[in-house]
Amino acid sequence: MKGEDLAQRLAAFVAREEGVDAARVQVSNLRRMAGGASREIWSLDLEIEREGGAERLALVLRRDPPGRVGDGGDRALEFGVLRAAFAGGVPVPRVHWGSCDASLLGSPFFLMERIEGEALPRRLLRDERYAKARAGMAAELGAILARIHALDLRAADLAGLAAPPADRSPARAEVERVAAGIRELAAEPHPVLDLAERWLLQRAPEPARRTLVHGDYRVGNVLFDERGVRAILDWELVHAGDPLEDLGWLCTRAWRFGSPLPAGGVGTRDELVAGYEAASGCGVDREALRFWEAFGSYKLALVFITQSRVYLDGRVRSVELASLGRRTVEAEDELLRFLRGEA
């Protein structure tokens, strides 16, 4: 679908949703933004002529690539989660309209508010202009996470959320899931990962509570400016589980981008935990947090193995995917720090 066609279809869709004549909706400045293979992101401006005057909206279109189904999460669920998060005071783009009807744009999609900000972790971690934002960000990320974990799992918008099996702790279920993935996909034996699996299973914590889990809470998914966090993005891995999973993932070494500060490269664990505890009223079990931080590197090993497998199987002949196979060792290096008792 060409840009012009897409713009026309979007305008017609919004006109129907708003119950106005198609001629009263204009789409302009539609352009594709950077995005992964599992989704498309477009930026656009929308103008609706209403009785009282024109309404102008700066929007982002999030759409599954036409013809690809199921590997980037569920767009309808993501829409519902964003709506629930917005209502719960989490900084997220406000969602406006969406549909799973593939006859409209070729695949499920939704439209949300466009928030201005920077998203590159390296700029956040290195640029002087973000020094002030950085200083308070670990506590801020903890406080935002508290609000995410306070969302009501029984809300209609969150129906259909993936949840761990009821007979095991989420921690144990996650280790078993990743272990199965590694066994299925690794091209060679990985003694470090076998050792890590046993270490993790021995320490898998019982959850203090079961909550909504963002599932990919790290600085790469934070939109920020000089004042701090503007929005939390990329909710496609959202699920129900142990809330400490999000705190541990944020502290996983790979997401520090070389910074000595463990919480996302911007702060200490103490700052993150203090921000979280103050806002949630729930204490954080530091041993359980340590488990989830180690688990982050274990899961990341599977990410690298999976991505290089896509190359090895000849599905995508990308030099980037090929090179990721050689990053598994970074995750193993970090896991060894835990196994030796140094982390």
Residues that bind another protein (CB under 8 A): 34-36, 38, 71-73, 119-122, 178, 181, 188-192, 194-195, 198, 215-216, 220, 236-237, 254, 257, 299-300, 302-304, 306-307, 310, 318-320, 322-324, 326-327, 329-330, 332-333, 336, 339-340
Query: Looking at this protein, which amino acid is placed at residue 152?
Result: D
Smallest gap from residue 302 Cβ to another protein (A): 5
Q: Which residues, 6 or more positions from 323, have their beta carbon under 8 angstroms from its beta carbon? A: none
Give whichever of 105 and 331 is closer to another protein, judged by the CB atom.
331
Give whichever of 50 and 122 is closer to another protein, judged by the CB atom.
122
Give whichever of 110 and 311 is closer to another protein, judged by the CB atom.
311
Tokens of 299: 């899961």
Tokens of 15: 């006109």
Smallest gap from residue 58 Cβ to another protein (A): 19
Smallest gap from residue 229 Cβ to another protein (A): 17
Smallest gap from residue 68 Cβ to another protein (A): 12
Smallest gap from residue 211 Cβ to another protein (A): 18
Please, what is the end-to-end C-alpha distance for the chain in angstroms? 50
Q: Which residues, 6 or more positions from 227, have their beta carbon under 8 angstroms from its beta carbon? A: 132, 133
Whether the Cβ atoms of residue 141 and residue 124 lie closer than 8 Å to each other = no
String of DSSP letters for 115-174? PP-B--HHHHHH-GGGHHHHHHHHHHHHHHHHHHHTS-TTSGGGTT-----TTS-HHHHH
Give whichever of 53 and 260 is closer to another protein, judged by the CB atom.
260
d(CA 273, CA 141): 10
Smallest gap from residue 277 Cβ to another protein (A): 26
Query: Looking at this protein, which amino acid is placed at residue 129?
Result: R
Smallest gap from residue 94 Cβ to another protein (A): 23
Give whichever of 52 and 191 is closer to another protein, judged by the CB atom.
191
Give whichever of 120 and 156 is closer to another protein, judged by the CB atom.
120
Give whichever of 23 and 319 is closer to another protein, judged by the CB atom.
319
56 backbone dihedrals φ, ψ, rounded to 5° = -110, 130
How many CB atoms neighbour CB 190 within 10 A? Answer: 20
Smallest gap from residue 159 Cβ to another protein (A): 19
Give whichever of 37 and 156 is closer to another protein, judged by the CB atom.
37
String of DSSP letters for 295-341? HHHHHHHHHHHHHHHHHHTTS---HHHHHHGGGHHHHHHHHHHHHTT
